[in-house]
Amino acid sequence: MIQKANSVNKALEEAVLLKEPLKIHESMRYSLLAGGKRVRPMLCIAACELVGGHESTAMPAACAVEMIHTMSLMHDDLPCMDNDDLRRGKPTNHKIFGEDVAVLAGDALLAFSFEHIATSTKEVSSDRLIRVVGELAKCIGSEGLVAGQVVDICSEGQSGVGLEHLEFIHVHKTAALLEGSVVLGAILGGANDEDVEKLRKFARCIGLLFQVVDDILDVTKSSEELGKTAGKDLVADKTTYPKLIGIEKSREFADKLNREAQEQLLGFDQEKAAPLIALANYIAYRDN
The answer to whether 189 and 62 are in contact (CB under 8 A) is: no
Determine phi and psi for 26, rounding to 5 degrees: -60, -45
Nearest CA among 117, 118, 94, 115 for reference residue 106: 94
**CA-to-CA distance for 115 and 118, rounded, in angstroms?**
5
Complex with a copy of itself: residue 107 or 260, whichever CB lies closer:
107
Sign of CA dihedral 65, 68, 74, 75: negative
Q: How far is the CB of 250 from a copy of itself (least distance, A)?
A: 25
Q: Which 8-state DSSP code applies to residue 227?
A: T
Tell me the closest approach of the beta carbon of residue 59 to a copy of itself, in angstroms.
Answer: 17
Q: Minimum Å distance from CB 20 to a copy of itself?
A: 8
User: Footprint of a copy of itself on this chain (CB under 8 A)?
Assistant: 21, 23-25, 28, 71, 75, 78, 80-81, 98-101, 103-115, 117-119, 125-127, 129-131, 133-134, 136-138, 140-142, 144-147, 149-151, 153-154
For a copy of itself, the closer CB: 5 or 78: 78
- CB nearer to a copy of itself: pick between 111 and 278: 111
C-beta of 99 vs 252, nearer to a copy of itself: 99
Q: Identify which of residues 49 and 82 has a Cβ nearer to a copy of itself in the complex.
A: 82
Q: Closest Cα partner for 186 from 108, 81, 264, 96?
A: 264
**90 vs 138, which CB is nearer to a copy of itself?**
138
Closest among 81, 107, 82, 89 to 27, alpha carbons compared = 107
Min dist. Cβ of residue 99 to a copy of itself (A): 4
In whole angstroms, the minimum distance from the beta carbon of 155 to a copy of itself comes to 11
CB of 61 to a copy of itself, least distance (A): 13
The 10 Å Cβ neighbour count of residue 269 is 11
User: Contact 179/208 with Cβ under 8 angstroms?
Assistant: no
